[in-house]
Amino acid sequence: MKLSRSSKIFIRYLTGPLLMVLLCWIIWLQLKKQVNFSLLATELSEALRTKGLFFLPLLFLLMLLNWLTESLKWKLAIAPLQSVSLFTSFKAVLSGVSFSVSLPNRVGEYLGRVLYLDPVHRVAAVSVTVVSSFSQLIVTVAMGLAGLILARPFLLSRFEWAAQSWSIAALATVVVLVLMLLLYFNSSHANNWLQKKVINPSSVWADRFKKWLQALDSCDAAILRTLLSLSLLRYLIFLMQYYLVYQLFQVPLQGIPLFVTVSLTFLVLALVPTFAIPELGLRGAVGLWIAGWFGATSSGIVLAALLIWIINLILPALTGALLISRIRNFFNLKDEVV
Q: How far apart are CA 173 and CA 178, in angstroms?
A: 9
- Radius of gyration (C-alpha) of the chain in whole angstroms: 21
Q: What is the pLDDT of residue 337?
A: 42
pLDDT in tens, 210-269: 555 566 666 778 889 999 999 999 999 999 999 998 888 888 888 888 999 899 988 988
Q: How confident is the model at residue 271 (pLDDT cuts 50, 70, 90)?
A: confident
Cβ 142 vs Cβ 180: under 8 Å: no
Does the pTM surpass 0.85? The reply is: no
Q: Name 221's Cβ contacts closer than 8 Å, sequence gap at least 6.
A: 185
Mean pLDDT of the chain: 75
Distance of CA 301 to the CA centre of its chain: 20
pLDDT in tens, 81-105: 889 899 999 998 988 888 776 665 5
Please spell the DSSP secondary structure of 198-263, one letter per residue: -SSTTSHHHHHHHHHHHGGGG--HHHHHHHHHHHHHHHHHHHHHHHHHHHHTT----HHHHHHHHH
Q: What is the pLDDT of residue 234?
A: 95
Half-sphere exposure of 259 (CA within 13 A, CB side): 14
- Interior CA angle at 276 toward 136 and 89, to 5°? 50
Q: How far apart are CA 212 and CA 131, in angstroms?
A: 12
